[in-house]
Amino acid sequence: MALTISELARSGDVGVETVRFYQRKGLLHDPRPAATGGAKGQRHYGEEDVRRLRFIRSAKAAGFILDEIAELISLDHTGDRPRAREMAQVRLAALDREITQLEAARQSLRRLARECAGSDEGPCPILESFEDGAVCGGTGRKSCAA
Amino acid sequence: MALTISELARSGDVGVETVRFYQRKGLLHDPRPAATGGAKGQRHYGEEDVRRLRFIRSAKAAGFILDEIAELISLDHTGDRPRAREMAQVRLAALDREITQLEAARQSLRRLARECAGSDEGPCPILESFEDGAVCGGTGRKSCAA
DNA sequence: CTTGACTCCGTACCATGGTACGGAAGGTAT
DNA sequence: ATACCTTCCGTACCATGGTACGGAGTCAAG
Protein backbone atom coordinates (compact mmCIF):
# COMPACT_ATOMS: atom_id res chain seq x y z
CA MET A 1 0.00 0.00 0.00
CA ALA A 2 1.19 3.41 -0.90
CA LEU A 3 -1.33 5.42 -2.80
CA THR A 4 -0.73 8.75 -4.36
CA ILE A 5 -3.24 11.47 -3.73
CA SER A 6 -4.90 10.90 -7.08
CA GLU A 7 -5.26 7.18 -6.38
CA LEU A 8 -6.77 7.93 -3.01
CA ALA A 9 -9.16 10.38 -4.64
CA ARG A 10 -10.19 7.82 -7.20
CA SER A 11 -10.74 5.24 -4.49
CA GLY A 12 -13.29 7.54 -2.92
CA ASP A 13 -14.73 8.77 -6.18
CA VAL A 14 -13.83 12.35 -5.44
CA GLY A 15 -11.43 14.78 -7.04
CA VAL A 16 -7.89 15.46 -5.93
CA GLU A 17 -8.92 18.97 -4.97
CA THR A 18 -11.62 17.55 -2.76
CA VAL A 19 -9.10 15.38 -0.93
CA ARG A 20 -7.00 18.48 -0.32
CA PHE A 21 -10.06 20.35 0.82
CA TYR A 22 -10.81 17.59 3.31
CA GLN A 23 -7.25 17.74 4.54
CA ARG A 24 -7.53 21.44 5.17
CA LYS A 25 -10.74 20.78 7.08
CA GLY A 26 -8.99 18.20 9.18
CA LEU A 27 -11.02 15.28 7.88
CA LEU A 28 -8.07 13.53 6.34
CA HIS A 29 -4.47 13.39 7.40
CA ASP A 30 -2.50 16.29 6.18
CA PRO A 31 0.95 15.55 4.83
CA ARG A 32 2.44 18.86 5.87
CA PRO A 33 3.73 17.84 9.33
CA ALA A 34 6.32 15.52 7.85
CA ALA A 35 7.09 13.75 4.65
CA THR A 36 6.07 10.17 5.26
CA GLY A 37 6.86 8.60 1.96
CA GLY A 38 9.50 8.24 -0.65
CA ALA A 39 10.03 11.53 -2.39
CA LYS A 40 10.77 14.71 -0.51
CA GLY A 41 7.59 16.37 0.66
CA GLN A 42 5.48 13.92 -1.25
CA ARG A 43 2.99 12.04 0.83
CA HIS A 44 1.66 8.58 0.22
CA TYR A 45 -1.56 7.24 1.60
CA GLY A 46 -2.70 3.89 2.92
CA GLU A 47 -5.68 1.76 3.81
CA GLU A 48 -6.45 3.98 6.76
CA ASP A 49 -6.97 6.96 4.52
CA VAL A 50 -9.12 5.03 2.09
CA ARG A 51 -11.36 3.91 4.95
CA ARG A 52 -11.50 7.43 6.28
CA LEU A 53 -12.57 8.78 2.93
CA ARG A 54 -15.27 6.14 2.65
CA PHE A 55 -16.49 7.08 6.10
CA ILE A 56 -16.76 10.69 5.07
CA ARG A 57 -18.89 9.68 2.10
CA SER A 58 -21.23 7.62 4.21
CA ALA A 59 -21.52 10.24 6.90
CA LYS A 60 -22.26 12.87 4.30
CA ALA A 61 -24.94 10.63 2.85
CA ALA A 62 -26.45 10.45 6.33
CA GLY A 63 -26.66 14.22 6.32
CA PHE A 64 -23.82 15.09 8.65
CA ILE A 65 -22.10 18.30 7.65
CA LEU A 66 -18.33 18.32 7.31
CA ASP A 67 -17.75 19.96 10.68
CA GLU A 68 -19.80 17.26 12.36
CA ILE A 69 -17.89 14.60 10.49
CA ALA A 70 -14.68 16.13 11.79
CA GLU A 71 -16.09 15.90 15.29
CA LEU A 72 -17.14 12.30 14.82
CA ILE A 73 -13.64 11.44 13.77
CA SER A 74 -12.12 13.15 16.76
CA LEU A 75 -14.62 11.41 19.02
CA ASP A 76 -13.52 8.12 17.58
CA HIS A 77 -10.03 8.96 18.73
CA THR A 78 -10.90 10.23 22.17
CA GLY A 79 -13.50 7.57 22.85
CA ASP A 80 -16.27 9.85 24.03
CA ARG A 81 -19.11 7.45 23.47
CA PRO A 82 -21.96 9.44 25.01
CA ARG A 83 -21.31 12.35 22.70
CA ALA A 84 -21.04 10.08 19.68
CA ARG A 85 -24.30 8.41 20.54
CA GLU A 86 -25.95 11.77 21.03
CA MET A 87 -24.83 12.96 17.63
CA ALA A 88 -26.03 9.79 16.01
CA GLN A 89 -29.41 10.06 17.66
CA VAL A 90 -29.89 13.71 16.80
CA ARG A 91 -29.07 12.99 13.19
CA LEU A 92 -31.29 9.94 13.20
CA ALA A 93 -34.25 11.96 14.39
CA ALA A 94 -33.57 14.63 11.77
CA LEU A 95 -33.22 11.92 9.16
CA ASP A 96 -36.63 10.57 10.03
CA ARG A 97 -38.14 14.01 9.69
CA GLU A 98 -36.38 14.57 6.40
CA ILE A 99 -37.56 11.29 4.98
CA THR A 100 -41.11 12.01 6.05
CA GLN A 101 -40.99 15.40 4.39
CA LEU A 102 -39.52 14.05 1.21
CA GLU A 103 -42.20 11.40 1.06
CA ALA A 104 -44.89 14.03 1.47
CA ALA A 105 -43.25 16.05 -1.27
CA ARG A 106 -43.19 12.98 -3.44
CA GLN A 107 -46.90 12.51 -2.98
CA SER A 108 -47.62 16.07 -4.00
CA LEU A 109 -45.33 15.85 -6.96
CA ARG A 110 -46.84 12.59 -8.11
CA ARG A 111 -50.25 14.12 -7.96
CA LEU A 112 -49.04 17.09 -9.89
CA ALA A 113 -47.52 14.91 -12.56
CA ARG A 114 -50.80 13.02 -12.90
CA GLU A 115 -52.91 16.13 -13.07
CA CYS A 116 -50.56 17.72 -15.53
CA ALA A 117 -50.65 14.73 -17.85
CA GLY A 118 -53.20 14.46 -20.60
CA SER A 119 -53.48 17.51 -22.75
CA ASP A 120 -50.48 19.51 -23.81
CA GLU A 121 -52.10 22.89 -23.70
CA GLY A 122 -53.04 25.38 -21.04
CA PRO A 123 -51.38 26.02 -17.73
CA CYS A 124 -50.52 22.97 -15.68
CA PRO A 125 -51.98 23.04 -12.20
CA ILE A 126 -48.48 23.17 -10.80
CA LEU A 127 -48.97 26.01 -8.43
CA GLU A 128 -52.44 24.94 -7.40
CA SER A 129 -51.64 21.31 -6.79
CA PHE A 130 -48.63 22.23 -4.74
CA GLU A 131 -50.11 25.16 -2.99
CA ASP A 132 -52.02 23.41 -0.28
CA GLY A 133 -48.91 22.97 1.72
CA ALA A 134 -48.91 20.00 4.12
CA VAL A 135 -45.29 19.94 3.18
CA CYS A 136 -42.87 22.03 5.15
CA GLY A 137 -39.17 22.47 5.51
CA GLY A 138 -36.44 22.20 2.97
CA THR A 139 -33.55 19.84 2.65
CA GLY A 140 -34.21 18.90 6.21
CA ARG A 141 -31.79 20.71 8.44
CA LYS A 142 -33.85 23.85 8.40
CA SER A 143 -36.48 24.18 11.03
CA CYS A 144 -40.11 23.45 10.25
CA ALA A 145 -41.75 25.68 12.78
CA ALA A 146 -45.07 26.02 11.01
CA MET B 1 -56.53 42.04 1.66
CA ALA B 2 -53.53 44.29 1.68
CA LEU B 3 -50.56 42.84 3.44
CA THR B 4 -47.35 44.62 4.18
CA ILE B 5 -44.14 42.87 3.35
CA SER B 6 -43.64 41.78 6.92
CA GLU B 7 -47.13 40.29 7.06
CA LEU B 8 -46.53 38.44 3.83
CA ALA B 9 -43.25 37.17 5.21
CA ARG B 10 -44.94 35.98 8.37
CA SER B 11 -47.62 34.24 6.35
CA GLY B 12 -44.96 32.18 4.68
CA ASP B 13 -42.85 31.75 7.78
CA VAL B 14 -39.86 33.43 6.23
CA GLY B 15 -38.04 36.66 6.95
CA VAL B 16 -38.66 39.98 5.27
CA GLU B 17 -35.20 39.78 3.77
CA THR B 18 -36.06 36.45 2.27
CA VAL B 19 -39.14 37.88 0.59
CA ARG B 20 -36.96 40.59 -0.90
CA PHE B 21 -34.45 38.00 -1.97
CA TYR B 22 -37.20 36.06 -3.75
CA GLN B 23 -38.34 39.23 -5.43
CA ARG B 24 -34.87 39.86 -6.74
CA LYS B 25 -34.81 36.30 -8.04
CA GLY B 26 -38.10 36.85 -9.79
CA LEU B 27 -40.02 34.36 -7.67
CA LEU B 28 -42.33 36.97 -6.21
CA HIS B 29 -43.71 40.13 -7.71
CA ASP B 30 -41.40 43.01 -7.37
CA PRO B 31 -42.98 46.29 -6.36
CA ARG B 32 -40.48 48.44 -8.21
CA PRO B 33 -42.31 48.73 -11.55
CA ALA B 34 -45.10 50.78 -10.00
CA ALA B 35 -46.52 51.56 -6.63
CA THR B 36 -49.66 49.47 -6.45
CA GLY B 37 -50.94 50.41 -3.06
CA GLY B 38 -51.75 53.36 -0.93
CA ALA B 39 -48.59 55.11 0.10
CA LYS B 40 -46.08 56.30 -2.44
CA GLY B 41 -43.59 53.63 -3.32
CA GLN B 42 -44.93 51.31 -0.69
CA ARG B 43 -46.23 48.03 -1.99
CA HIS B 44 -48.98 45.96 -0.51
CA TYR B 45 -49.46 42.30 -1.16
CA GLY B 46 -52.48 40.07 -1.61
CA GLU B 47 -53.71 36.50 -1.70
CA GLU B 48 -51.85 35.83 -4.91
CA ASP B 49 -48.53 36.58 -3.26
CA VAL B 50 -49.34 34.47 -0.23
CA ARG B 51 -50.14 31.52 -2.49
CA ARG B 52 -47.01 32.08 -4.48
CA LEU B 53 -44.90 32.08 -1.35
CA ARG B 54 -46.50 28.86 -0.20
CA PHE B 55 -45.81 27.32 -3.55
CA ILE B 56 -42.16 28.25 -3.23
CA ARG B 57 -42.02 26.53 0.12
CA SER B 58 -43.57 23.36 -1.19
CA ALA B 59 -41.43 23.28 -4.28
CA LYS B 60 -38.34 23.78 -2.17
CA ALA B 61 -39.45 20.91 0.04
CA ALA B 62 -39.68 18.78 -3.09
CA GLY B 63 -36.06 19.60 -3.80
CA PHE B 64 -36.45 22.10 -6.63
CA ILE B 65 -33.79 24.78 -6.53
CA LEU B 66 -34.85 28.40 -6.74
CA ASP B 67 -33.97 28.75 -10.41
CA GLU B 68 -36.17 25.77 -11.21
CA ILE B 69 -38.97 27.21 -9.15
CA ALA B 70 -38.69 30.40 -11.15
CA GLU B 71 -38.98 28.34 -14.28
CA LEU B 72 -42.01 26.47 -12.98
CA ILE B 73 -43.72 29.75 -12.28
CA SER B 74 -43.00 31.07 -15.72
CA LEU B 75 -44.23 27.81 -17.23
CA ASP B 76 -47.45 28.23 -15.34
CA HIS B 77 -47.88 31.54 -17.10
CA THR B 78 -46.91 30.41 -20.57
CA GLY B 79 -48.72 27.08 -20.32
CA ASP B 80 -45.90 24.88 -21.54
CA ARG B 81 -47.23 21.65 -20.14
CA PRO B 82 -44.74 19.21 -21.62
CA ARG B 83 -41.86 21.06 -20.04
CA ALA B 84 -43.63 21.26 -16.70
CA ARG B 85 -44.36 17.57 -16.77
CA GLU B 86 -40.79 16.84 -17.66
CA MET B 87 -39.49 18.86 -14.75
CA ALA B 88 -41.87 17.16 -12.37
CA GLN B 89 -40.85 13.74 -13.56
CA VAL B 90 -37.15 14.44 -13.39
CA ARG B 91 -37.52 15.70 -9.87
CA LEU B 92 -39.72 12.78 -8.94
CA ALA B 93 -37.11 10.31 -10.09
CA ALA B 94 -34.43 12.17 -8.16
CA LEU B 95 -36.66 12.27 -5.12
CA ASP B 96 -37.04 8.52 -5.22
CA ARG B 97 -33.30 8.10 -5.37
CA GLU B 98 -32.81 10.54 -2.52
CA ILE B 99 -35.34 8.83 -0.34
CA THR B 100 -33.76 5.46 -1.00
CA GLN B 101 -30.36 6.83 -0.08
CA LEU B 102 -31.60 8.46 3.08
CA GLU B 103 -33.27 5.25 4.12
CA ALA B 104 -30.05 3.35 3.60
CA ALA B 105 -28.24 5.97 5.65
CA ARG B 106 -30.84 5.64 8.36
CA GLN B 107 -30.24 1.91 8.53
CA SER B 108 -26.50 2.40 8.94
CA LEU B 109 -26.96 5.09 11.51
CA ARG B 110 -29.41 3.02 13.49
CA ARG B 111 -26.97 0.18 13.55
CA LEU B 112 -24.26 2.54 14.68
CA ALA B 113 -26.43 3.90 17.47
CA ARG B 114 -27.20 0.37 18.64
CA GLU B 115 -23.60 -0.77 18.55
CA CYS B 116 -22.47 2.35 20.30
CA ALA B 117 -24.99 1.94 23.09
CA GLY B 118 -24.10 -0.05 26.15
CA SER B 119 -20.82 0.89 27.71
CA ASP B 120 -19.66 4.49 27.91
CA GLU B 121 -16.00 3.83 27.41
CA GLY B 122 -13.74 3.09 24.48
CA PRO B 123 -14.08 4.20 20.92
CA CYS B 124 -17.52 3.81 19.39
CA PRO B 125 -17.50 1.78 16.22
CA ILE B 126 -18.61 4.85 14.31
CA LEU B 127 -16.10 4.70 11.56
CA GLU B 128 -16.21 0.94 11.27
CA SER B 129 -19.97 0.63 11.19
CA PHE B 130 -20.26 3.30 8.58
CA GLU B 131 -17.27 2.31 6.61
CA ASP B 132 -18.71 -0.48 4.57
CA GLY B 133 -20.41 1.92 2.24
CA ALA B 134 -23.53 0.66 0.48
CA VAL B 135 -24.56 4.24 0.94
CA CYS B 136 -23.64 6.70 -1.73
CA GLY B 137 -24.44 10.22 -2.69
CA GLY B 138 -25.16 13.20 -0.57
CA THR B 139 -28.22 15.37 -0.16
CA GLY B 140 -29.39 13.82 -3.33
CA ARG B 141 -28.76 16.17 -6.19
CA LYS B 142 -25.16 15.10 -6.46
CA SER B 143 -24.41 12.22 -8.76
CA CYS B 144 -23.85 8.75 -7.37
CA ALA B 145 -21.59 7.40 -10.05
CA ALA B 146 -19.95 4.70 -7.94
C1' DC C 1 17.96 17.25 -21.11
C1' DT C 2 13.59 18.15 -22.40
C1' DT C 3 8.79 16.76 -22.11
C1' DG C 4 4.95 15.20 -19.71
C1' DA C 5 2.72 13.66 -15.62
C1' DC C 6 2.13 14.20 -11.21
C1' DT C 7 2.66 16.56 -6.74
C1' DC C 8 2.47 20.49 -3.32
C1' DC C 9 0.79 24.90 -1.86
C1' DG C 10 -1.67 29.11 -1.39
C1' DT C 11 -5.15 31.77 -3.01
C1' DA C 12 -9.10 32.84 -5.59
C1' DC C 13 -13.32 31.74 -7.33
C1' DC C 14 -17.98 29.38 -7.77
C1' DA C 15 -23.14 28.27 -6.71
C1' DT C 16 -26.82 28.08 -3.47
C1' DG C 17 -29.73 30.30 -0.27
C1' DG C 18 -29.97 33.40 2.43
C1' DT C 19 -28.87 37.33 6.28
C1' DA C 20 -27.34 41.86 7.76
C1' DC C 21 -26.36 46.84 7.30
C1' DG C 22 -27.00 51.59 6.52
C1' DG C 23 -29.44 55.45 4.90
C1' DA C 24 -33.60 57.80 3.32
C1' DA C 25 -38.56 58.32 3.49
C1' DG C 26 -43.11 57.71 5.17
C1' DG C 27 -46.89 56.38 8.92
C1' DT C 28 -48.39 56.45 13.75
C1' DA C 29 -48.58 57.45 18.63
C1' DT C 30 -47.62 60.52 22.32
C1' DA D 1 -43.10 67.92 16.36
C1' DT D 2 -40.53 64.42 18.09
C1' DA D 3 -39.67 59.68 18.66
C1' DC D 4 -40.24 55.26 16.91
C1' DC D 5 -41.45 51.70 13.60
C1' DT D 6 -41.55 50.06 8.94
C1' DT D 7 -40.65 50.27 4.46
C1' DC D 8 -37.55 50.61 0.36
C1' DC D 9 -33.15 49.96 -1.74
C1' DG D 10 -28.51 48.76 -2.78
C1' DT D 11 -24.68 46.57 -1.29
C1' DA D 12 -22.05 43.61 1.48
C1' DC D 13 -21.52 39.66 3.98
C1' DC D 14 -22.23 34.72 5.62
C1' DA D 15 -21.89 29.33 5.58
C1' DT D 16 -21.45 25.16 3.03
C1' DG D 17 -18.95 22.38 -0.07
C1' DG D 18 -16.34 22.40 -3.33
C1' DT D 19 -13.51 23.70 -7.92
C1' DA D 20 -9.92 26.07 -10.47
C1' DC D 21 -5.48 28.47 -11.13
C1' DG D 22 -0.75 29.46 -11.16
C1' DG D 23 3.80 28.52 -9.87
C1' DA D 24 7.29 25.55 -8.32
C1' DG D 25 9.27 21.04 -7.46
C1' DT D 26 10.12 15.97 -8.51
C1' DC D 27 10.28 11.96 -11.26
C1' DA D 28 10.61 8.73 -15.22
C1' DA D 29 10.73 7.99 -20.22
C1' DG D 30 12.30 9.11 -24.50
Q: Are residues A52 and A99 in the same domain?
A: no
Q: Is residue B144 part of a domain?
A: no
Residue of A88, A91, A105 with shortest CB distance to B95: A105
Q: Which among B106, B100, B144, B109 is positioned nearest to B129, based on CA atoms?
A: B109
One domain for residues A48 and A23: yes
CATH number at residue B48: 1.10.1660.10
What's the mean pLDDT in B112-121?
74
Interface of B with A in 51-110 (CB under 8 A): 51-52, 54-55, 57-63, 72-73, 75-79, 81-82, 84-85, 88-89, 91-92, 95-96, 98-99, 101-106, 108-110
Lookup: nucleotide whose C1' is closest to B65 CA = C16
Q: Is residue A117 part of a domain?
A: yes
More confident residue, A122 or A78: A78
**Using one digit for the tens of pLDDT, what is the confidence trace for B24-72?**
999 999 876 543 333 444 568 998 899 999 999 999 999 999 999 999 9
Check pLDDT > 80 for residue B141: no
Least reliable range by pLDDT among A33-47, A78-92, B10-24, B106-120: A33-47
Output A93 or A145, whichever has higher pLDDT: A93
Q: How many domains does chain A have?
A: 2
Q: Are residues A74 and A92 in the same domain?
A: no
Structure confidence at residue B117 (pLDDT): 74
Report percent pLDDT > 90 for chain B. 52
Q: How far is the C-alpha of B4 from the C-alpha of B10, rounded, in Å? A: 10
Q: Tell which of B79, B95, B130 closes a domain.
A: B79
Q: Has residue A146 been placed in a domain?
A: no
Residue A24 lies in a domain: yes
Question: Which structural domain range is residue A101 located in?
Answer: 87-138
Whole-number pLDDT of residue A33? 54
Say yes or no: A40 and A73 in one domain.
yes
CA A44 – CA A29 distance, rounded (Å): 11
Sign of the Cα pseudo-torsion (A14, A17, A21, A22, in order): positive
Q: What is the mean pLDDT of residues A55-71?
A: 96
Q: Residue-wise over B39-67: b if at least 16 C-beta within 10 A, else e?
A: eeeebbbeeebbbbbbbbbbbbbbbbeee
Which of B79, B100, B123 is where one domain is finished? B79
Within chain A, residue ranges assigned H as helices are 5-11, 16-25, 47-61, 66-78, 81-116, 126-131
| B71 and B10 belong to one structural domain | yes
Region of poorest pLDDT, from A24-28, A120-124, B41-45: A120-124
| A98 domain residue, yes or no | yes
- CB count in 10 Å sphere of residue B37: 15
Closest partner CB to A139 (pick from B103, B139, B145): B139
Would A17 be classed as within a structural domain? yes
B97 and B40 in a common domain = no
Burial class (CB in 10 A: 0-12, 13-18, 19+), A29: middle
Which among A79, A109, A125 is the end of a domain? A79
Do A64 and A105 share a structural domain?
no
Q: Any idea what DSSP says for residue A3?
A: B
Chain A residue with minimum CA distance to B62? A105
Higher pLDDT, A58 or A2: A58
In this structure, the answer to whether residues A30 and A55 fall within a common structural domain is yes
Same domain, A75 and A93: no
Q: How confident is the model at residue A111 (pLDDT cuts 50, 70, 90)?
A: confident
User: Do A73 and A32 share a structural domain?
Assistant: yes
